[in-house]
Amino acid sequence: MNNYPPEYDNSTSAPPRLLLWLAMIFLIVLVLAAIAVAVFMVNDRRISALIPVVGIGLMALPIASVISALFMRNGLPKRLWLWIAVLWAVFLLAISFGFTLYYRDSLPPRYQEEMLTYAPFMRQFMRPTPQGGIVPTSAVTSAISPADLLALPVEATASLEPTETSIQPDEAPTSEPTMQPTDAPTEAAVVPTSTIEAPVIQPTSEPADATNINTSFVSSSRPASAFMYGFRWERQGWNNCGPTNITMALSHFGWQEDQNYAAQFLKPETEDKNVSPGEMVNFVNTHTGVRAITRIGGSVELLKHLIAANFPIITETTFTPEGSDWIGHYQTVVGYDDNAGSFYVYDSWLGIEDGNGLPEPYGQFDRDWQAFNRTFIVLYEQSREGVLINLLGDLADVNLAAEHALEVARQEASQDPTNPFAWFNIGTALTRLERYDQAASAYDEATRRLLPFRMLWYQFGPFEAYFNVGRYDDVMGLVQNNLTNGAQFVEETYYWQGRVFEARGQTNEAIAAYTRALSHNPLYTAAQEALNNLT
């Protein structure tokens, strides 16, 4: 019997089970969203960091909705749990199929690669690399045989005053940016770009034999080990080893900006696969109070002397990340130890073991370095230019450096004719010396030895050599290869495409190609000048 008056009757019915079920599902969504926001913020606002959260959500939400509907089935519409299970299955199947297509055809490469970190099986859905993963071989039969190439005279050609502004087209510096750092470095103060001139490096004595660089140096003239300090290590972002390494090397002089600042000028297009040594040198010379030069034909012994003299060095090299294949890379070399038989590097991808850097045995270091003709960048203060000149010897002259690289590459090709990098280096050295007929033949031999397809993401000597001997079809073949293997964001690809169009009288197509190159890098001087000549 109800003892309360009618007006105080507070009996109510329970909320509908369907509403309770929906509220519970909504709560799960809110929790997942909160976790996603937290993960996003903690990981420097990287969208790729959300991949595991989304994956967990796509598993947890269907399971929770189906199980909760099953347990609450007495208060829910008949067989709601079964219909929910079917709808989720159809939805997830459609999402999986659609995302696979999007991943393969439309997702930017940086997200494709980051996705593989969390779901390695997705590699199976990526399109295969063209030509079996190698640079295509030309159908042209060269008149110069491999044996002839190995017997060619080196020919001393050093006659021009060497300067960093005399860079070959494959390493043409971009136009001078105007933005200045927001925070001045502590030691090497930033100076206005208008006051900086490209450093002129000249030998102070007669150049040594091109086959025996720095013969005056012997191991006893330097310590058995040496290390440089004061570097700030930074983990690289996507395809950002160039800006990151130039930042790490500059930190030795007190530079405080990070890789993102350098990347604004070195690679305005995030997906750009390549920042050339010439571009990095130009950035240093126009944006800092430090100087830089780049040369090919370095050696293990030369690097040791530079380190012992406290000159930061960046080398262009290669490595193979776990689960991937051959790619180009930069490393900042900070020390060496003859007793351990190793260089010590600051690696923007692999990290550092301690303050001395990551050890890398001399033999492995040199084998990886060979793929890029032993290219190195040296950073130095203007007041120490004379010291650097003496250390470089004949490598202070860009032409003698190319001749030395040519002789070393020929020796390596003679010792192992199957080595594609040795033949490629012959071609690159000959291209630097403007001996294009011979260079084209060397590149032909290199491609017959199965070069990795990414080689032409970073080095453009074959484009230049083939173009200058009128082998336009071969240039366009390399262009097409790049455009279908992930290098569609590399501006040099469109530049050489434009050069061929222009040479063939296809002006509109050439303008479109140069414009496309500039859309990926508005600071690309060579493309801008070529475009200006046509408009």
Q: For residue 358, what is the domain's CATH number?
A: 3.90.70.10
For residues 293 and 191, membership in a common domain is answered with yes
* 3-class secondary-structure state, position 251: helix
Please report whether residue 473 resides in a domain: no
For residues 225 and 358, membership in a common domain is answered with yes
190-206: pLDDT as tens digits:
333 333 333 444 433 33
- Give the model's confidence band at 477: pLDDT under 50 very low, under 70 low, under 90 confident, else very high: very high
Cβ atoms within 10 Å of 5's Cβ, excluding its own: 7
DSSP symbols for 395-460: GGSHHHHHHHHHHHHHHHHHH-TT-HHHHHHHHHHHHHTT-HHHHHHHHHHHHHT--BTTHHHH--
C-alpha separations of 261 from 110, 167, 180, 348, 425 in Å? 19, 24, 10, 16, 32
Q: How many residues does the chain have?
A: 535
pLDDT exceeds 80 at position 121: no
Closest to 433 in 3D by CA, of 186, 25, 198, 156:
156
pLDDT at 186: 33
Domain around 108: 17-125
Single-letter amino acid code for the residue at 468? N
pLDDT at 101: 80
Q: Which of 122-131, 263-272, 361-370, 444-453 has the lowest mean pLDDT?
A: 122-131
Closest to 321 in 3D by CA, of 348, 359, 340:
348
Please report whether residue 168 resides in a domain: yes
Please report whether residue 269 resides in a domain: yes
Q: Say which DSSP state 123 is in.
A: G
* 3-class secondary-structure state, position 148: helix
Q: Round to whole Å and give the CA distance between 168 and 296.
A: 12
475: tokens are 């240039």
pLDDT exceeds 90 at position 326: no
* 3-class secondary-structure state, position 172: coil
For residues 262 and 186, membership in a common domain is answered with yes
124-151: pLDDT as tens digits:
777 665 545 677 777 777 778 888 888 8
* Among 11-25, 184-198, 474-488, the range of highest mean pLDDT: 474-488
DSSP symbols for 199-238: -----SSPPPPTTSTTTT--GGGS-SEEE----------T
Region 274-293: mean pLDDT is: 94
Dihedral of alpha carbons 516, 519, 520, 524, sign: positive
pLDDT at 419: 95
For residues 72 and 191, membership in a common domain is answered with no
Q: Which of 59-73, 246-260, 333-347 has the lowest mean pLDDT?
A: 59-73
* 3-class secondary-structure state, position 302: helix
For residues 208 and 340, membership in a common domain is answered with yes
- Cβ atoms of 282 and 196 closer than 8 Å: no
CA 497 to chain centre: 22
363 or 162, which is more confident: 363
For residues 215 and 298, membership in a common domain is answered with yes
For residues 226 and 313, membership in a common domain is answered with yes
For residues 205 and 338, membership in a common domain is answered with yes
Residue ending a domain, choose from 387, 402, 417: 402
Residue ending a domain, choose from 347, 375, 402: 402
Q: Round to whole Å and give the CA distance between 232 and 245.
A: 10
CA 71 to chain centre: 54
441 or 47, which is more confident: 441
Please report whether residue 408 resides in a domain: no
% of the chain with per-residue pLDDT over 90: 47
Please list the residues that pair with 317 across neighbouring strands.
329
For residues 245 and 333, membership in a common domain is answered with yes
pLDDT exceeds 90 at position 389: yes
For residues 217 and 365, membership in a common domain is answered with yes
Please report whether residue 32 resides in a domain: yes
Please report whether residue 148 resides in a domain: no
For residues 82 and 206, membership in a common domain is answered with no
pLDDT at 110: 63
- Cβ atoms of 265 and 179 closer than 8 Å: yes
Q: Round to whole Å and give the CA distance between 450 and 468.
A: 23
75-89: pLDDT as tens digits:
777 788 888 888 888
pTM: 0.73
- Cβ atoms of 77 and 70 closer than 8 Å: no
Please report whether residue 525 resides in a domain: no
- Cβ atoms of 374 and 406 closer than 8 Å: no
Region 453-457: mean pLDDT is: 91
Strand 342-346 versus strand 291-295 pairing type:
unpaired
Q: Round to whole Å and give the CA distance between 321 and 458.
A: 17
User: Which ranges constitute the DSSP H helices of 43-186?
Assistant: 51-71, 80-105, 109-118, 146-151
Tell the burial category of 32 from Cβ atoms under 10 Å away from its Cβ (0-12, 13-18, 19+).
middle
Q: Round to whole Å and give the CA distance between 411 and 370.
A: 13
- Give the model's confidence band at 218: pLDDT under 50 very low, under 70 low, under 90 confident, else very high: very low
Please report whether residue 86 resides in a domain: yes
Number of structural domains found in the chain:
2
The tokens 């490209």 sit on which residue? 198
Residue ending a domain, choose from 96, 125, 154: 125
pLDDT exceeds 70 at position 70: yes
The tokens 């030309």 sit on which residue? 138
Closest to 283 in 3D by CA, of 371, 454, 167, 203:
167
Q: What is the CA radius of gyration of the chain?
A: 29
- Cβ atoms of 188 and 254 closer than 8 Å: yes
Q: Round to whole Å and give the CA distance between 438 and 418.
A: 18
pLDDT exceeds 60 at position 474: yes
pLDDT exceeds 80 at position 228: yes
- Give the model's confidence band at 188: pLDDT under 50 very low, under 70 low, under 90 confident, else very high: very low
pLDDT exceeds 60 at position 7: no
Q: Mean pLDDT in the chain? A: 81
For residues 111 and 203, membership in a common domain is answered with no
- Give the model's confidence band at 111: pLDDT under 50 very low, under 70 low, under 90 confident, else very high: low
Buried-exposed string 439-477: b where 16+ CB fall within 10 A, e elsewhere? bbbbbbbbbbbebbbbbbbbbbbbbbbbbbbebbebbbb
- Give the model's confidence band at 106: pLDDT under 50 very low, under 70 low, under 90 confident, else very high: low
